[in-house]
A and B are shown apart, each in its own frame.
Chain A
C-alpha cells in the first residue's frame, strides 16, 4: 500500500435516476445506477474502476465530481465535503478535479481553436495576463506533445490520438490534483492507446496527480492502476491492490470477467468460466446479491440477502456470501 494520504474518500455513494410512467408521468421507479459505493483514492495513486457497460462506473465518476447529483452518500475531497458546497463554490473547486472524456471527437467544441480550448479553463479559474496565459498554454501543449504551431488549428484537423492529447491538456492546464479519466483510450486504435497511456503515466508523475481510471478493458486497467474496484450492477463487488485482485480474484464475477479476456497466446489452453445470460436491468435489480442469477456458486442466502463488504486480506475487500 502506498504511504500517501487519502485525497478522495467516497462513502456509501448512491445515484438513482427516476423512471416515469403511467398516465400522469409519475415516478414509478428508479434506475439504481450507483448503489452503496465506497472507496478511497490516495494522492498520486490511480484507482481503476472496471465493469461491463451499464454497471454504473461512468455514473460513479460523474457523481463524485457532482456533474450528476448523488442521491445519498459522502464525497470527501481533501477532507472537504463536496456535497456541502454551493454551486458556485463547487464550480471554483473544479480546477482541482477534472474529467477526461472517452470520445475526443464529441467532447471538444469544434468551433474553438486548440488555443481557445486551452485558455478557457485558465480564464475561468485564474485572472492571468495574456503573457502568463501563453506561457501556461505552451507549457501544457509541450507536456502532452502538441506542437506550438498547431495551437491555432481546430479539433477536426487532428487525428483521434492527437485530439485526446488536447482533451488531456485541457483537463490538466489548471493543474488539478485529481482527474477522472472516463474510458480515455477506448475510442482509439490499439497502436495509439499505448501512446496515450504512457502520456497519462508520465503526467501523473510530473504533476503528482491522482486518477480515477474508468475502463471496460481489463488489461488497460491492470496496467495503469494501483488499486481497482470491480463494478457490477451499480455495486463494487471486489476491490483491492491491482495485482492482488488479478492474481487472486475472490469474487466469482471477477473470476469470470478475468477468464473472459481473450488470451494472446493461441497455444494456451482455454479454460473459461462461462457466464450465462445477460446483466439484469439496473431499473429492476434482483433481490439479494445482484450477481446471483448468473453465479455458478449461488446459494440460498444469495437470493435474499445483499452480501456485506469484507476485508479478506489487508486492503482486499469482497462482497460475497462465499466468504461469510
Chain B
C-alpha cells in the first residue's frame, strides 16, 4: 500500500512541474508588457526599470521561474499588481466559496445520477429507462450558463423569485449561505449529472451480465441484494474514476456560475484578474485550481485502490 501511494505521488510530480512551467510560459508570452499596463506607455525609462526591478522582471526567465516556484512552495504566491495584497490568503478565502459550491454540486449530481442510473439499468428498455436516458442526454448537452439564464428567467418571470444577492459565508449564517448557494450548486450539479448517470447505467448493466451475478441469484439472493450489494459495488469503480475527472468540469463550471451569480469564488477572482491584466493573480489562481484538480484525481485513484481488492498495492 505504501509503495502504491508513493508511486502514484511520484507520478504526479512531473505533471505538477509541467503545469507550473506551462502557466509560467503562458504568462511570459502574453503580448504587451505588464509595466506599460501599470504605468501607461508614456512612463520614463527610469520608472520602468525601477518597477521591473521591483517585480524581478529584469532577470533571466529561469531565475524568475525558480524564484516564483520557490515562493509558491513556501506559500508565497506573490502580490497583486493592482492591490499589492498578497495573493495566497485571497486565494484561500475565495477557495472556500468555490469548494463549497463544487462539493455541493457534486453531491447533488450523485444524489440524482446514481439512483437514476441504477434504475435505468435495472429497468432496461422500459419507459423509466427512456426517461432517464433523455434526462441524461439533456444534462450532457445543456450548458450551465444557458441553464442558469433560463432558470433565472423562468423563476423571475413566473415566480417573481430572484436569486439573493450578496454572499454570506457558511459560518456566519448557514441558512442564508445555503439559500445563496443552492441554485448555482444545483445547476452545476444537474449539468454534470448526465454523464454520471450514463456511466452508472452502463457499468451496472455490464456487471449485471457477469457470471457472479448469476451465482448470487442461484444462492437465493433477492434482486435488491444482487443489484445493490453486488452489481453497484462493482460498478462503483468506473463511476469513481469518472467522478474524479468531473471535478475538472465542476471547477471549470464554477468559473462561469460564480460569474453569473456574483459569488466571490476563485473563478471570479481569475476572471477579474484576466480582465484587469493582473497576471500574478491569474498565475496564482490557475496554478491553484490545476493543483487541486490533480490532487483530487490522485485521491480518487487511491480510493479506487482501496475499494477494489484486486489492485495489489506493491
Contacts and interface: CB of A to CB of B under 8 A. Distances in A.
Do A and B touch each other in the complex, judged by CB within 8 A? yes
Interface of A: 21-25
Interface string B1-18: 001001100100000000
Contacts, number: 12
B42 interface: no
List the 4 shortest-distance A-B pairs measured between CB atoms, nearest first: A23-B6, A23-B7, A23-B3, A21-B314
12 contacts: A21-B3, A21-B314, A22-B3, A22-B7, A22-B314, A23-B3, A23-B6, A23-B7, A23-B10, A24-B7, A24-B10, A25-B7
Residues of A contacting B: mostly: loop
Interface of B: 3, 6-7, 10, 314
A24 B3 CA distance: 9
A135 B3 CA distance: 61
Residues of B contacting A: mostly: helix
A153 B6 CA distance: 54
A24 to B, nearest CB: 8
Given A22-B3, A23-B3, A23-B6, 7 more contacts: A21-B3, A21-B314, A22-B7, A22-B314, A23-B7, A23-B10, A25-B7
Contacts of A21: 3, 314
Nearest to B4: A23
A24 B314 CA distance: 11
Nearest to A25: B7
Contacts of A25: 7
B1 to A, nearest CB: 12
B80 to A, nearest CB: 40
Contacts of B314: 21-22
Contacts of B7: 22-25
Contacts of B6: 23
A28 to B, nearest CB: 9
Contacts of B10: 23-24
A281 to B, nearest CB: 14
A18 to B, nearest CB: 16
A24 B7 CA distance: 7
A25 B10 CA distance: 11
B185 to A, nearest CB: 39
Nearest to B7: A23
Contacts of A23: 3, 6-7, 10
